[in-house]
Amino acid sequence: MRNKCEQPVSVPSVQLPRHHYRLGTRGSRLAQWQALHVARRLAEHSVNVEMVEIDTLGDRDLVTPLTGFVGATPFADEIEQALVRGEIDLAVHSYKDLATQPTSGTMVAAVPVRADPRDALVARNGWTLTDLPTGAIVGTCSARRSAQLLQMRDDLVIKPLRGDVPSRVRQLQDGLFDAIVLAVAGLQRLGMEGAITECFSVDTMVPAPAQGALAVQVRSDDADFQALVGRIDDRALHEAVDIERTALAMLDPLAPCVAVHAQPIGDDLFNLIVRVIDEKGITRVDESLQGNFFTLSEQIELLVNELTRTTIRVVV
């Protein structure tokens, strides 16, 4: 492990000549980095913001596994409520933190950037997944990561891991885990990519829908401000993420592990990797699909129908 992982991480600065719009964000280093990145992009289009830090349930409760927040979106609910109430004018989220169904009164006006969507292993002694000793303890709170890890190494012991990115790495350094799995994007944005001991390809460990992408959320009744924020939107990226989240919404009720990743291949076409693993660790879907948004939606619906029929047959 490199010592720099233990050092304070600098956050990029942004000049705000005038405070016209209030941008809501969480207080973690990563959330602040992401919000300031969006603020700089908006400033290039003469849209100036001031930051409003909002405490979320997920930040306060560091004990409950992420799968235990039933009926809540732990890193977004308070921010979205502030947006709807008019206490802020826009919000920046890690897109994968948002519920698949948009909160009433809100919309995502821009998906300006996507960092590396892959997952990374951060392990003691520079270990890769193959190097980990039998029965190694691996930290993650993601059902998606857990399921795919156990398919590759069924001897691993998966234990819950909570906290922001630096604190998770510290837990590894303190000996609580032999390895942890984190998003490459978060490590890179915080200058901590030196801690990575292995990057998983998107085929080896299919990412979470919208992993690495940022969402800039505004009120749905403010068309003028939507247009302003839309200046930083990447249309192809936005559509790719929409496809991933559509697949998640359709498949999520059928299995605890739904992993989806869309890669643009030109002319509004995408390659969509879909992996669905059930509660018994059995892979129910492992497909690579091609098409545009509409044809891919139709193909996903066919997968849902087949999964539903298969599930009914197994239950009966």
Q: What is the pLDDT of residues 149-174, one digit of tens each?
A: 999 999 999 999 999 999 999 999 99
Confidence grade of residue 280 (pLDDT, cut at 50, 70, 90): confident
**Cβ(196)–Cβ(121) below 8 Å:** yes
Query: Residue 85: pLDDT above 70?
Result: yes
287 pairs with which residues across the strands? 274
What digits encode the pLDDT tens for the residues 87-101?
A: 999 999 999 999 999
CATH number at residue 184: 3.40.190.10
- pLDDT-based confidence at 274, cuts 50/70/90? very high
| Per-residue confidence (pLDDT) for residue 14, from 0 to 100 | 44
222 and 184 together in one domain = no
Same domain, 154 and 183: yes
pLDDT of residue 13 exceeding 50: no
Query: 154 with 108, same domain?
Result: no
Name the pLDDT band for 311 (thresholds 50, 70, 90).
low
Based on the fold, state whether residues 228 and 264 are members of the same structural domain.
Answer: no
The residue segments making up the domain with residue 188 are 119-199
Within a domain: 67? yes
Whole-model pTM: value is 0.87
Least confident of 70-84, 92-106, 146-160, 293-307: 70-84
- What is the count of structural domains for the chain? 3
Q: Which secondary structure element, helix H or strand E, spans residue 246, and what is its range?
A: helix 235-251
Q: How confident is the model at residue 58 (pLDDT cuts 50, 70, 90)?
A: confident
Query: Domain for residue 206, yes or no?
Result: no
- The pLDDT, as a whole number, for residue 10 is 46
Position 266 scores a pLDDT of 87
Stretch 11-30: mean pLDDT: 72
Dist CA 165 CA 172 (whole Å):
11
Question: Last residue of a domain, which of 144, 173, 199?
Answer: 199
Active site residues: 97
In a domain, 205, yes or no: no
CB-CB neighbours of 208 under 10 Å: 21
Cα(146)–Cα(198) distance, integer angstroms: 16
Residues 34 and 87 placed together within one structural domain of the fold:
yes
- In this predicted model, what pLDDT tens digit does every residue of 184-227 receive, in sequence order? 999 999 999 999 999 999 999 999 999 999 999 999 999 999 99
Q: Is the pLDDT at 312 greater than 60, yes or no?
A: no
CB count, 10 Å around CB of 288?
A: 12
- Token readout for 287 is 């497909």
